Structure 1
Amino acid sequence: MDTVKKPLRADARRNYERLLQEARRAFAAHGVDASLEEIARQAGVGIGTLYRHFPTREDLVETVLREGFDTQAEVARELLDSPEPLSALKTWLAGMGEQSARYRGLPDLMVDVLNDETSPLYASCHAMRDGVSHLVERAKASGELRADVTVNELLVVLHALSWASEHLSGDKGLERLLDLVFAGLRAS
């Protein structure tokens, strides 16, 4: 069985890129449950073309999100060199929270995906989760973060804050909520 993917023809590549562009726009405007038919229509292709490139909604969402998740994993690696472990963790969480809040419905989806090994998003979410786990352990080792805090708890709290920040006015909603939460996460 040949597992090597053939490169896309030029027209197929254009369709693929237009679908991704329209999916980003639709997810930002309507959330991750946006109409796939409308995404295809706006991209100027039929729904069959969308499904040829992305057999499921999660495949499309994963492709749209993968770049951001990969970036967040890299940011976590870079922040490991920070002299202030708790500040580094908060910086990472703020960046991830901004990404989570970008698409309505994404926080719910990500919490579900962290526990679903069959999801196309599982690998991307866990690579990102593994990156932040080092920041969490470093903040605990420094004595700045409570020893009983887990990565999964922080991610669930982050997704809750991302959801909540959608309902606050002003640009600093997520940052303010993180400040409040971190006041309770500090080791005493």
Structure 2
Amino acid sequence: MSTTPRPEPADALGAPADRPRPPRMRADARRNREQILRAARAVFADQGPDAPLDEIARRAGVGIATLYRRFPERADLIRAVAIDVFTALVEAAREATDAGRDPLDALRRFMHAALDLKIGSVMPTLVGRVTIDEILEAVRQDAADPVEELLRRAHEAGLIRPDIVFGDITMMIVRLSRPLPGGGIPEDEALAHRQLDVYVDGLRPAGSAGPGTRLPGPALDAAAFKRFRGRVMGGGSG
């Protein structure tokens, strides 16, 4: 499998390394920004992108004026949350790929990290507000690529059943990171991580129902997943 050069990394604000960077923020300003983005991620997951900004400021422990200084428009905050989540997802995928550990264990660690980011709760709420092309332009990397590499390594090592494809990894993360109906269940996150471990163990060759038995339904490889993601979020159809 040929390797392609990695894109230039983005800085902490999502600006590509080959573009002029904005002035470095003071430590307190950077901390406020991170708290706002973390709070917004949780509130958007719970209440959607039209949630009250006052609630986001309250959870972040900052005044509403501070929030507006950082993000003058709601659209600015929504875009920043999407880029922040996707940047963290890319970092988790790169860490797992570069660690040189057992590829199935690396895949497991990445999936748990993605679960903690609540990717399946946050990103669906932002559909129609930000496109995948906007996110990728800012982040300049795609978590799908290192995850596909991890999957290839696991296949080559014989650690997972041969009919497991890219979509079986990503779509399960999306499903498990959505909250249980009713909300407010304290054990929800812990249950999701437990169920993820059960699922990953089921990816092993011994998890096959029997010789020659293949999984039913559509099989989304990485290219098909990217097209699917583009249809859902807008853009990214290539």
TM-score band, normalised by the shorter chain?
0.5 to 0.7
Equivalent position amino acid for 1:174 in 2: A
Distance 1:164 1:28, change over 3 A: closer
Matched, 1:184 2:199: no
Q: CA deviation at 1:160?
A: 0.5
Q: What SS is found at the alignment partner of 2:117?
A: helix
Distance 1:38 1:88, change over 3 A: closer
Distance 2:151 2:139 in 1: 19
Q: Hey, what does 2:88 align to over in structure 1?
A: 68
Distance 1:39 1:172 in 2: 24
Distance 1:175 1:139 in 2: 21
Distance 2:21 2:201 in 1: 49
Equivalent position amino acid for 1:59 in 2: R
Equivalent position amino acid for 1:18 in 2: N
Q: What SS is found at the alignment partner of 1:172?
A: helix
Q: CA deviation at 1:182?
A: 2.5
Please tell me whether the aligned partners of residues 44 and 125 of structure 2 are also in contact (alpha carbons under 8 angstroms). no
Q: Hey, what does 2:52 align to over in structure 1?
A: 35
Superposed CA RMSD? 3.9
**Structure 1, residues 4-60: CA drift from partner, whole Å, max 9, x if none?**
4553797xx9767634422322432453624346547834247486237x8544422
Q: Hey, what does 2:159 align to over in structure 1?
A: 144
Query: Runs of 5+ in structure 2 lacking a partner?
Result: 1-18, 209-238
Distance 1:96 1:150, change over 3 A: same
Q: Say which structure is richer in helix.
A: 1
Pairing partner for 1:59 from 71, 79, 89: 79
Distance 1:184 1:168, change over 3 A: farther
Q: CA deviation at 1:128?
A: 1.7
Name the % identity.
20
Distance 2:168 2:138 in 1: 19
Distance 1:183 1:123 in 2: 35
Distance 1:9 1:92 in 2: 30
Equivalent position amino acid for 2:37 in 1: A
Please tell me whether the aligned partners of residues 36 and 56 of structure 2 are also in contact (alpha carbons under 8 angstroms). yes
Pairing partner for 1:99 from 101, 104, 117: 117
Please tell me whether the aligned partners of residues 62 and 121 of structure 1 are also in contact (alpha carbons under 8 angstroms). no
Pairing partner for 2:71 from 50, 58, 61: 50
Distance 1:140 1:125, change over 3 A: farther
Alignment: residue pair count: 176
Q: Hey, what does 2:233 align to over in structure 1?
A: none
Q: What SS is found at the alignment partner of 2:71?
A: helix
Distance 1:75 1:138 in 2: 15
Query: Runs of 5+ in structure 1 lacking a partner?
Result: none
Pairing partner for 2:173 from 132, 135, 158: 158
Distance 2:193 2:55 in 1: 34
Distance 1:15 1:38, change over 3 A: farther
Please tell me whether the aligned partners of residues 89 and 136 of structure 1 are also in contact (alpha carbons under 8 angstroms). yes
Distance 2:140 2:178 in 1: 18
